[in-house]
Amino acid sequence: MNTRSNIRLETENRKVNAKSIMQILSMGFKTGTEVTIVAEGSDAQEAVETIREFIDAGCPEL
């Protein structure tokens, strides 16, 4: 993902940089885990939509 925004994925007790695949994988997401996407920057809305679509599709590229 090429974005200028800062993006985080958050659960109840963890926050990770959404631009880091290693940090995302370290979260160990399971089906049903509630995830909040937080983005700040000039293209934040586009970044959130891209990540939401990726998650909704079942993370097909992982």
Q: What is the pLDDT of residue 44?
A: 96
pLDDT at residue 1 above 70?
A: no
Per-residue model confidence as pLDDT tens digits over 32-61: 889 999 999 999 999 999 988 988 887 776
**3-class secondary structure per residue, 4-33:** CCEEEEECCCCEEECCCHHHHHHCCCCCCC
Alpha-carbon Rg for the chain, nearest whole angstrom, is 11
Q: Does an H or E element contain 45, and which?
A: helix 44-56
pLDDT surpasses 80 at 7? yes
- Domains in the chain, start-ordered, CATH in brackets? 6-56 (3.30.1340.10)
pLDDT tens readout for residues 15-34: 999 999 899 889 988 888 89
To 10 degrees, the CA torsion angle through 40, 1, 53, 29? Answer: -90
What was the pLDDT predicted at 32? 87
Supply the pLDDT for residue 2.
79
